[in-house]
Amino acid sequence: MSAQPADRAALEAFWMPFTANRQFKAAPRLLARAEGMHYWTPDGRQVLDGVAGLWCVNAGHGRREITEAVSKQIAAMDYAPPFQMGHPLAFELANAIVGIAPPGIDHVFFTNSGSESVDTALKIALAWHRVRGDGTRTRLIGRERGYHGVGFGGISVGGMVNNRKYFGALLPGVDHIRHTHDPARNLFSRGLPGHGAECADDLERLVALHDASTIAAVIVEPIAGSTGVLLPPVGYLQRLRDICTKHGILLIFDEVITGFGRTGSAFAAQEFGVVPDLITCAKGISNGAVPMGAVLVKGAIYDTFMSGPEGSIELFHGYTFSAHPVACAAALATQRIYRAGLFEQARAMAPYWSDAVHALKGRRHVVDLRAYGLVAGIELEPRPQAPGARGYEAMVAAFEAGLLVRTTGDTIALSPPLIIERSQVDRIFETIAAILDRLP
Ligand code: PXG
Ligand code: PLP
């Protein structure tokens, strides 16, 4: 829909996040209602959700179980302070999440977003080394092209240039290993790319440069989402795990996108058979219905913090809205839906999904295709002198054709709700194919 001239002023006050505000406000794209696999615009046009909102509505929109749990909780107790006080749902939810977490990861710290989860995990890593008497380990290592949210910690370890360059010197003592994208060897790989496990050895370079005794933690996304869906090369994550273990460095998997079934397993850690020391998550934890995030922590790390005097606060960190009761209610209802078999449903759909993605090979503009679980990246050739323009136009054209996709640069990213059916997979790729055929 396009705004009437009178509407333009009404759109002014909201400074929209990660949005070209003036371009949007001149021709807004508004969503007013959602149910199942679909959104509806204010004028009643149906839009198929190809991205689970923004990688978060894994169980589909408007789930009655979640709506009811939220209504009930907000009426029963709207808010409870999380510091030196508790409420039952927080403990119940922590247990539910531990129940699907990888072995040994058995404690949960609640936050309100992925960005807060990342800052929390980095702080836990730093504090853990210090509590153990290893306080020289202060360096944090991220990866080029990584996205870890928008807090100062997250952009410091992150590797997306535009998210960093405006914001000063960032955290001191941070370094980055190289990214794994290797088009020369891995174009159009089915499943995980076969080449690039040795990219993990770049961590050895940083250990040689800084010495392991100065490094606290390494943080990576098992599948890098925001930068355009980069899959881990076969053996890469295991190699990273081995190098971290060898040097006493904590390994953090940022599973804000990959958590809660996106790959077909609860977490990518299980999917790829590599257990990190901490996992950051958010988004799908509460099906996007109420903001929430969490850091999952190995028992051995938690136990170290529990070694001081009983009456002392073990970690000077927390949010006013950590374990918010309404968020906990939404997340508990969400976890019940997941437990009923949603991840298995995603896994069963993954081969059909992957075939549909790779059937775009040879289409105009397509330079690479990447798919895993229910994620896909469709990389388009940038238009000369106008990087990102073709991607943006593809997103707008898809929306006009009744399909919500996400683009980053010239890569179309897809991550539908895990309830997607074959006919809807077909619709997504028919729509995209038609758009690619006519896109300049
Ligand atoms: N880590 C990862 C791996 C993420 O994908 C965050 C942290 C931050 O989460 P919050 O809840 O603070 O936004 C994310 C979020 C995109 C896109 O490019 C991806 C995210 C957020 C916004 C846009 O599609 N991921
Ligand atoms: N700023 C001020 C002045 C505060 O009092 C607080 C919390 O009490 C915060 C920031 C942090 O807010 P939150 O706990 O929601 O992250």
- The ligand with the least distance to the CA atom of 285 is 1
Residues of each domain in the chain carrying CATH 3.40.640.10: 64-337
Q: What is the pLDDT of residues 122-151, one digit of tens each?
A: 999 999 999 999 999 999 999 999 999 999
Token pair 């950051």: residue: 280
Confidence of residue 7 (pLDDT cuts 50, 70, 90): confident
Alpha-carbon distance values, 270 to 90, 100, 103, 258, 259 (Å): 24, 10, 9, 11, 10
More confident residue, 3 or 381: 381
Is the Cβ atom of 160 under 6 angstroms away from ligand 1?
no
The DSSP element (H or E) to which 53 belongs, if any, is helix 52-55
Q: What is the pLDDT of residues 102-115, one digit of tens each?
A: 999 999 999 999 99
Q: In this structure, which amino acid lies at residue 182?
A: D
Q: What is the pLDDT of residues 230-265, one digit of tens each?
A: 999 999 999 999 999 999 999 999 999 999 999 999
What percent of the chain shows pLDDT beyond 70? 99
Q: How many angstroms does the Cα of residue 30 sit away from the middle of ligand 1?
A: 21
Residue whose CB lies within 8 A of the most ligand 1 atoms, among 19, 49, 54, for a mutation test: 54
Q: Is the pLDDT of residue 4 over 60?
A: no
Q: How many angstroms does the Cα of residue 319 sit away from the middle of ligand 2?
A: 7
Q: Is the pLDDT of residue 1 over 50?
A: no
Residues of each domain in the chain carrying CATH 3.90.1150.10: 5-62+341-438
Q: What is the pLDDT of residues 256-282, one digit of tens each?
A: 999 999 999 999 999 999 999 999 999
- CATH (one of 3.40.640.10, 3.30.1490.20, 3.40.50.1820, 3.30.70.990) for 64-337: 3.40.640.10
233 phi and psi angles, rounded to 5 deg: -60, 150
Strand, coil or helix: what is 412? strand
User: Under CATH, to which class is 5-62+341-438 assigned?
Assistant: alpha beta
Is the Cβ atom of 406 under 6 angstroms away from ligand 1?
yes
CA–CA separation, 330 and 393 (whole Å) = 35
In this prediction, residue 36 carries a pLDDT of 98
Q: Is the pLDDT of residue 293 over 70?
A: yes
What percent of the chain shows pLDDT beyond 90? 98
Whole-structure pTM value: 0.96
Q: How many angstroms does the Cα of residue 320 sit away from the middle of ligand 2?
A: 7
Residue whose CB lies within 8 A of the most ligand 2 atoms, among 84, 152, 320, for a mutation test: 320
- The ligand with the least distance to the CA atom of 81 is 2
Is the Cβ atom of 114 under 6 angstroms away from ligand 1?
yes
Q: What is the pLDDT of residues 23-60, one digit of tens each?
A: 999 999 999 999 999 999 999 999 999 999 999 999 99
